[in-house]
Amino acid sequence: MENLEVLKGVENFSLSEDDVKRIPNIMKLVVIYNVELIERVDCLSYLQCFSKLESLMLQFPWFVDRKYQLKMSFPPSLKKLYLDVPTNFELEDILPMLGSLPLLWRLRLDGGRFRTRKWETIEGQFRSLRLLALGGCGDLEDWTVLESSHFPLLEELHLLNLDELEEIPSEIGEIATLRSIILDSCNDSMVLSAKQILEQQQDLHGDELDLHVIVRLWEKDEDLLKLATSNFEVY
């Protein structure tokens, strides 16, 4: 098993120190946990021991006790991470840790909640991130990015079903590498903030504009449909 590099579709992986030693060269891991295992086995803290792990997908059940969330830890080798978490999963507990991963360039978060209803990014984090996707993250009302340098290499931003978030931080539009924004079933104010970001970029770059925005509406809205241009698609 020492040569095993990909392990996918595993349910209830009872990860321990011995397991890490048996499969030390894992590079891609896809695991689904259920309630019974999470309550019985402390396994999330051992993820950081996979020193060659580059791609990780974790899917959790409908409820995860916060004490297990606080034990989650990831190796610095991680480049791609997808977390499918329940609505009680508190994202503030892990976002600072994720932001400190030096090689992470692709991050997808599906589910979870912000207990403070706010997310303020920290300087010096997410230094390598190129794709950020947030879906169904409940209670997020205010996203603050103090400087565009907080996501210096961001190229793609995907936001899905963020009903309470009022706007995309204007600083996101100042990121030089940003190429696409995708809004899927977000509210009207989010769409308008994306339009404003695009217009600011057009003023700066004119015909050389590289930013493209795609908006997928939950329900057809004639006023929003009228905003469509070649760089601002609305469906």
Encode pLDDT of 119-161 as tens digits: 999 888 999 999 999 999 878 999 999 887 889 999 999 999 9
- Residue 3 CB partners (closer than 8 Å, separation 6+): 25
What gap in Å lies between CA 144 and CA 130, rounded to an integer?
18
Domain-wise residue ranges, the chain? 1-78, 85-235
How high is the pLDDT of residue 36? 60
State the number of CA atoms in the 13 A half-sphere of 95 facing the CB: 20
The Cα–Cα gap between 165 and 130 comes to 22
Environment class of 85 (CB within 10 Å of its CB; exposed 0-12, middle 13-18, buried 19+): buried
The CATH number of domain 85-235, selected from 3.80.10, 1.10.3470, 3.30.70, 3.30.1360: 3.80.10
Q: How far apart are CA 144 and CA 122, in angstroms?
A: 10
Q: What is the pLDDT of residue 41?
A: 56
Helix (H, G, I), strand (E, B) or coil at 206: helix
**DSSP-H helix ranges across 87-149:** 95-99
Using 50 as the pLDDT threshold, list the residues of the chain that sit under it. Answer: none
Place of tokens 């259920």: 34
pLDDT at res. 171:
92
